[in-house]
Structures are given as structure tokens and as C-alpha cells.
Amino acid sequence: QVQLVESGGGFVQAEGSLRLSCSASGSTFDSLAMGWFRQAPGKEREFVAGINWNGRFTHYEDSVSGRFTISRDNDKSTVYLQMNSLKPEDTAVYYCAATTTPYIIKMTVPDYWGQGTQVTVSS
């Protein structure tokens, strides 16, 4: 069983930045591909970014490409999402996710979820 704990959410003005962190435990971190999803009020949860087990390959949803960067530190069992140039439409609960298929960079059905962290971007 893998436990994922997110941190770093908050309130920010448009064009600002936030960095989300997700710490993993309960499994060998470098056997997992990691990702971030988000869910805005009244909308379905959507994929945001994914990274393979060694961090060499990443994938982004089109609306965040060029603004968000996913990275990981396997020594710290942590994955990050650096979010720059934030827009009000980025407002959502952001979820960390993991899959035991280590090469996956675009997750569709993760094996594990974090509890979520709220990101609110004001205009």
C-alpha cells in the first residue's frame, strides 16, 4: 500500500506561482510513476502532469504545458509540481497520484491517490 500526502496548496493571485509537494511512503518510490490531477468545482477530475520512475520523461495536459513543471526526487520519495503564471481557471483541488507501472507518463487510472490540496487563484 502506498500513502501519498500533498502539501503546498494555497491562495495566490493571477500570474503568481505555487509549488506543490507530494511525499510517498509504503513502497519503493523509484518503482512508481507519479502524476498530478486536479478537480475544479462541478467538473470531472483531469490529468495535469505525469513523470516516469527516473524523471527522464514527462507529459503535460495542454492547458498547463509551458507553465507547470513536474519533477521528482527519488532520494526524498517526493514529487513536485511547480506552477507558474497561474490563472483563475487553474483553481481546483490538486491530487497526487501513483501507478505501479513505472514508465507511464500519462496516467488514466492511477493505483493510488493522495487526499488533495486546494489551489485558489484570484483574478
Residue pLDDT, tens place only, 81-106:
999 999 999 999 999 999 999 888 99
Relative to beta strand 18-25, strand 3-7 is antiparallel
Mean pLDDT of 61-74: 97
Angular region, 46: left φ>0, alpha ψ -120 to 50, beta rest: beta
Quote the CA–CA distance of 48 and 32 in Å, as a whole number: 17
Quote the CA–CA distance of 103 and 76 in Å, as a whole number: 19
Quote the CA–CA distance of 70 and 115 in Å, as a whole number: 18
Q: What is the pLDDT of residue 77?
A: 97
Determine how many CB atoms are found less than 10 A away from the CB of residue 97: 25
**How remote is the C-alpha of 91 from its chain's centroid?**
14
Residue 116 scores a pLDDT above 90: yes
Residue 27 scores a pLDDT above 90: no
Mean pLDDT of 48-55: 97
- Is 101 in contact with 51 (CB distance < 8 Å)? no
